[in-house]
Structure formats: C-alpha cells, structure tokens
Structure 1
Amino acid sequence: MILLWNKIERRLWGELVRDTRQTRFYPFIYCSYWHYLFHKSNSIANTTCYYSARPNPGAGIGHQIANWIAGYWFARQIGLKFAHMPFSTKKWDDFLGFGYGEPQVTDLKKQGYKIRKLPLFNEKNDKEVRLNKLIIQSYAGERVVFVAEQDQFYRDQFGVMADIQKKFYNAPTRKNDRLIYSPDNFNIAIHVRRGDIMADPTNPNLAMRYLSNDYFEKVLRQVIENIQTDKPVHIYFFSQGKPEDYPEFASYPNLHWCLDMDAQSSFLHFVYADLLITSKSSFSYKPALLNKGIKVCPKNFWHGYPNSKDWILVENDGTFDLTQLQKLS
C-alpha cells in the first residue's frame, strides 16, 4: 500500500512540475524556495549540507544512471558533499557499485538531516542556476540533504567518467562477473536498439532513437575493414527479436547472436568489449562511459561525448573518420 501511495504521489507531483515549469509560479511549489524567501543567503560557507538525485524508479537503468550522475556532478559544481540514493533494485545498486564509500541519504535522515527538494534548472541558464545556489546557501549551517528535482538534466555526462569507472571496476560484485568473450579474440559488441522504439513508429520521441539495420551494418563493415589487430575478430550482436530480423548480418563470420541475454549481462559485455558500437540509447551510452576500449557512437545524441581519440562519432548516414579508427588499431 505504501509503495502504491508513493507511486501516486510521484505522479501527481510530476504533473504539478510539468504544468508549472514554464510559469513564474513554478519556484513557489517548493518548500526550499519559501525558506530562501524568508532566510536570505548569508556569507557562512555551507559545509553541513549534502546534494543528491534520485534515480527515477519508473525508468530504465540507463536513464537512472543519468539521474545519479547528474546528482554527483552538480554536487561537485555547487560545492556540496554528495549523498547516494540507490537505484531501483539492490541488484543494480550492487552491480554498479556507485554507492560504495558514499554517505547514504537514508542514513543521513536517521541522523536528523532534513530532505529538501530543489527546482529544476537549465544548466545553461545562469538565472536558474543562481536561484538554486541561493536556496542552498540560505540553509548554511543547517543539516539538510538537497535532492534535485526528478530528471534534472546534465548533458555532458562524461564529466564524472573517471570517478564512475573507478567505482565500477572496484565494486565487490566484479568478482561475480561472467563473460562469454575470449581474451584471445578482438571482441566487438554492437547494440541495435529495437524493443521500445518499435512499439509505436508514429511516436516522435521514439522515432528520434531509431537507426536502421543498414546503418549498423555499414558501421560494422567499416570497423572490420579498418581495424588492425592480430587477434581473430568476433562480433556479439545485442538486440531483441530473432536472427531473421537482421538479414544484413547473415554473412559475417564469427557472429554471436545475443538476443536473449538479460539486461545486466548485456550491460557488462558492453563495458568489457574491445570495441563497442552503440545505439541512440542510454542503455549503451552509459556502459560506454565505463568502457576502456574503443567506442563508436552516433554523433547526433542527447548526451555529449568526450574529445578523446577512443571515441569515434558516426554521422546519421553511417560514415565516420576512418583514419581515427586506423590510428587506434
């Protein structure tokens, strides 16, 4: 019953945020804003408060990781300590290991910390960013955990890449990892997003995520033709459906169909691939942030990419700078 009520409460609050976001009344729906109005910011350094973000419990794991990363990043930018809020399941929380060594919001609540939600802000909008900072500063000296509004956006998620790699590779659950890759091969993982984006082709939000079989085949062909390795190349194809849905790939040798692999195992194989070809999907973008090999990614995407030689960006027509790949091989 409690879980149902929490779900209803989140939905109603989300509707309120959506309906007021573009109005001048929006900040007034937050208790933290009212506190700021009656407790103007002072010059005391805010060293007692924490900042956090809740991984959206109704979203996929890629989306949830984006939420968590936003909290981690903005805590650093604002100058607050970070506090961890867990992912939707303990299995994912343990698997990722992001919370190890971080204060937990639940523990801070038990210690008497108040939870205060902050208004959404556009990270490029100085006025909105400043308002969040003023609200936070009005609580200087108090024991508060500030929680970003649900789905607070942070575009360039690679800003925390070194930190989350360290967390992931040092997580205790790494001892349980099982890979089907052979270290004797050069292992290419290709993620062809289907599933949800095929459910409603008329939905523009889903259509923007679609890339054709021809796109992926063209990218894969160029990778194989230009990669220089002494190891045999093996291809691991991650998607939904059946092999007959992807006739463009039938002639490739050493092709392994991974159409029934569970989400966590797929994520793990994306991380450990020698070369990862991603979709327009948070589900392959996030493991790409953890991957230490070569990443070949669609240039037109809603998150940014680091300016690094191991990240190769592909145009919508499937072309990319072949010399960049050749230099990496």
Structure 2
Amino acid sequence: MTQKLNTSYITVIPNSGHRIGHKLDDLITGFILAEWHNLKYLHSPLPQGKWEDFFGFGEDEIIFSEDFRKDLPIISCTPFLGIRHLNPQSRFAIRHIEWLEYRVHSTLKKSPIKELRQWRRPNFWDGSPLEYFEKIFNQDNKNREVIFCFQKGIRVMLYQIYDWGRQGKIDPNLYSRVIQKLKRKYFGKKHSMKKCYFNPDAINIAVHIRRDDASVENQRFLPLSYYKALLSKLNRLIKSDFHEFHIYSSGSEKEMNSLKRELHSISSNNLIFHCNEPAMEAIHHMAVADILVIGNSSFSHWPGFLSSGIKFYYPHFHMFNLDKSEWITVDIGGEFDEFHFSSLFSKYTKDFPASRCLQQVE
C-alpha cells in the first residue's frame, strides 16, 4: 500500500502598511519558500486590488483564507511574537496577530532603553538569517501536515537565496526558478498599463531617481552627482548606438525642475523626463527597458528582478552580491567597471536585437 504523503502549505500575508515595494518583498517570500521547501503555495492577495491585478502573481493560485483546510494547524511566524503553533480551534487568532505585533512594536519604540527600542527578533527587514528558516522548517515540522503563515515582514529576499546558492548552502538553481516564475506571471498577465511608449529603434535606458521621501538619514537618497557621472559614462560607452534616457522620479515641482536642470548638462537631445508618472506605467517601462539604473527603492528593485536587461545598482540594504550576469555595481561616485558593462552589452544586443517592448516570456 502506497503511503500518503503529507501536504504542507505556505502563505505570507503582506503588510497592510508601507509602500508597494515592501508588500512585494513579503509576498515573494511565499513563492521562494514554497519552491525551496517543496510546499504548496497559498496566495494572500496584496491589500490593494489594483496592484494585485497589475502584477498577476495570484493568477491560478489557491487563495488563503481563515476557512481554508480548517482541520490543519498553523505555524505562525512574526518578528516580535515569534514562532507559535496554533491548533485548528485557535487559528482564528491569525486575524489579530498584525495588531498585536503593531502594539508590541509601538511599546518598544517608546522605551527609554536604546537596546529595547531597536530590538527585533530576528533582524527581519532586510531578510531573516538562514538559521531562522532552518529552525522553522525542521524535520519535525516537515513531517506534519500544516500551514506555515508568515506576517509582519518575516522575509527571505532574492539576494539571499542567490548568495546562499552561490555558497552551496542551498540549491543554486532556486534563485533562477523563482525569477522565471515571477517573470512568467507578470508578463503573462494582460493589463491596460502594460503598454510601451519606448522607441523600438533605440536602446532605452530607464533611470529611477527616488526623491519625495528620500533623505541621507534614511539611506534612500543618492545625489544627482551619482546619476550625472553614471549617465555621462553610459553616453560615452554606447555613443555609436542610438539611445534614449528615460528619467523616472516623483516629488514637488521644485524638486523636479531642479532635477531637470542638473541632468540636462549630460545631453540636450536624448533625455526624456517622466516626472510624477503613474506608478504602474513607470514600473512596467523599467521592467522592459534595455538598461535600468535603479534607485535606493523597492519601487525600482522589483522591475529590476522582472527585467531581462542590464541593471545598475548601488549596493545597499537588501541589494548586494547580485548576479553579475545581469547586475553591475556602481560606487557612490557613479563609477562602474567598463569592461563588465561592455561584455554584458555586447551579449545583450546579440541576444535581444528587437525592442524589449515586444518581450514575451516563454
């Protein structure tokens, strides 16, 4: 008689607060863990339906609800309340966990003791450590039929699974499998905002410059000198190819006018500004650009992972040690390895002679 194998499930509930980039960091954790630990993925939709419809990550997936498989226990994982085992009779508590986490966090932030104010278990914002996931997905838990539920920013990031795979700590092909799945879902989902205005005869370079809430203190700010040096160098390296720079930024009229004045010194005829453009339109064009310069923001990190083009990034937070076959590091002075870029650009133009706007993921 064939023994029935237990089926365990994974869902990650996106934060109700914060911007869309952080919610995607949460959501994609579910795809990673399902692929990594051979779990059945349960989709917890993004809080805003418009973004759920745009990205299409929930297409053809089972939607998680409190009533799903009411016979199964839940292993709930959050940063402050820790790892809790909820039996089927107490699984209703899952709906209150985000509120409880918020209250604990708020209380700790008001503490006069610095160590308490800064305490998190684990340091989850930029990705939890490998040991944390090894603890959760131990052999005892793997042998049970259970629903794993992650909330409030317990994450595993794409940079982590790429780096762990490179070091031989996990399956080195996990990263590429997850990336390809995300691309298939995004590019396979039709949406009115997924139209392309790029010139099909040009090398289109999308540049994201985060302003509005960016500051030196919160480490989301990159100076215009960084962008000017980087774009000037690109202008020189691909001058024989017709190319256009598409600048994406949002902020006050004063900020945008200052940005335009500063960058016009690079070129007067191939800079196109998309200031305060609708977010979905900007994200899609960053995803299909031939070359993407990302800012210190998840708003452009995610188009970078969806893109098959060449990506430039300044290492920070959860963006470092990325795949060198697609990503190029830039220092704060806007300098990068010219040979690295030239080799990627030569391969890219050979592999993708047609406009990226025509991209279809197989």
Q: TM-score range by the shorter chain?
A: 0.7 to 0.9
Q: In structure 2, give the amino acid aligned to 1:260.
A: N
Q: Deviations over 1:73-102 (max 9, x none)?
A: 122323321111111211111111111122
Within the candidate set 71, 82, 89, 2:30 is matched to 71
Contact 2:25–2:157 (8 Å) recurs in 1: no
* 1: CA distance, partners of 2:229 / 2:239: 18
How many Å apart are 1:46 and its aligned residue?
6.7
Tell me, which stretches of 5 or more residues in structure 1 are unaligned? 1-43
How many Å apart are 1:63 and its aligned residue?
0.9
Contact 1:305–1:311 (8 Å) recurs in 2: no
Residue matched to 1:235? 245
Q: Identify, as 1 or 2, the structure richer in helix.
A: 1
SS where residue 303 of structure 1 aligns? coil
Within the candidate set 245, 248, 253, 2:262 is matched to 248
How many Å apart are 1:248 and its aligned residue?
2.0
Q: Deviations over 1:122-149 (max 9, x none)?
A: 74353x33431249718714xx432113
| CA separation of 1:136 and 1:49: change in aligned 2, threshold 3 A | farther
Residue matched to 1:145? 147
Residue matched to 2:222? 211
* 1: CA distance, partners of 2:32 / 2:4: 20
Q: Deviations over 1:259-314 (max 9, x none)?
A: 12011111111101111111111110110000111111112342345323221111
Q: In structure 2, give the amino acid aligned to 1:244.
A: N
Contact 1:299–1:316 (8 Å) recurs in 2: no
How many Å apart are 1:111 and its aligned residue?
4.6
SS where residue 43 of structure 2 aligns? coil
Q: In structure 1, give the amino acid aligned to 2:156.
A: Y
Within the candidate set 155, 180, 193, 2:210 is matched to 193
How many Å apart are 1:226 and its aligned residue?
0.8
* 2: CA distance, partners of 1:166 / 1:139: 31
How many Å apart are 1:116 and its aligned residue?
4.1
Residue matched to 2:318? 302
* 2: CA distance, partners of 1:163 / 1:64: 18
Q: In structure 2, give the amino acid aligned to 1:285.
A: H
* 2: CA distance, partners of 1:270 / 1:209: 18
Q: In structure 2, give the amino acid aligned to 1:250.
A: H
Within the candidate set 185, 200, 206, 1:183 is matched to 200
How many Å apart are 1:113 and its aligned residue?
5.5
Residue matched to 1:16? none
* 2: CA distance, partners of 1:49 / 1:193: 40
TM-score, normalized by length of structure 1? Answer: 0.75
Within the candidate set 164, 173, 178, 2:182 is matched to 164
Contact 1:237–1:257 (8 Å) recurs in 2: yes
Percent identity, aligned pairs only, is: 26
Within the candidate set 248, 265, 281, 1:265 is matched to 281
| CA separation of 1:70 and 1:244: change in aligned 2, threshold 3 A | same
Note the aligned Cα RMSD (angstroms).
2.5
Contact 1:193–1:239 (8 Å) recurs in 2: yes
TM-score, normalized by length of structure 2? Answer: 0.69
Contact 2:15–2:151 (8 Å) recurs in 1: no
Within the candidate set 47, 70, 87, 1:112 is matched to 70
Contact 1:113–1:145 (8 Å) recurs in 2: no
SS where residue 216 of structure 1 aligns? helix
| CA separation of 1:80 and 1:280: change in aligned 2, threshold 3 A | same
Contact 2:78–2:152 (8 Å) recurs in 1: no
| CA separation of 1:132 and 1:310: change in aligned 2, threshold 3 A | closer
* 2: CA distance, partners of 1:262 / 1:256: 15
Q: Which stretches of structure 1, 4 residues or longer, exceed 6 Å deviation after superposition? A: none
Within the candidate set 124, 130, 142, 2:129 is matched to 124
SS where residue 302 of structure 2 aligns? helix
Contact 1:237–1:259 (8 Å) recurs in 2: yes
Structure 1 position 82 matched with structure 2 position 41: yes
Q: How many residues align?
A: 274
Contact 2:198–2:204 (8 Å) recurs in 1: yes
Contact 2:193–2:280 (8 Å) recurs in 1: no
Q: What pairs up with 1:311-322 in 2 under 5 angstroms?
A: 311-322=327-338
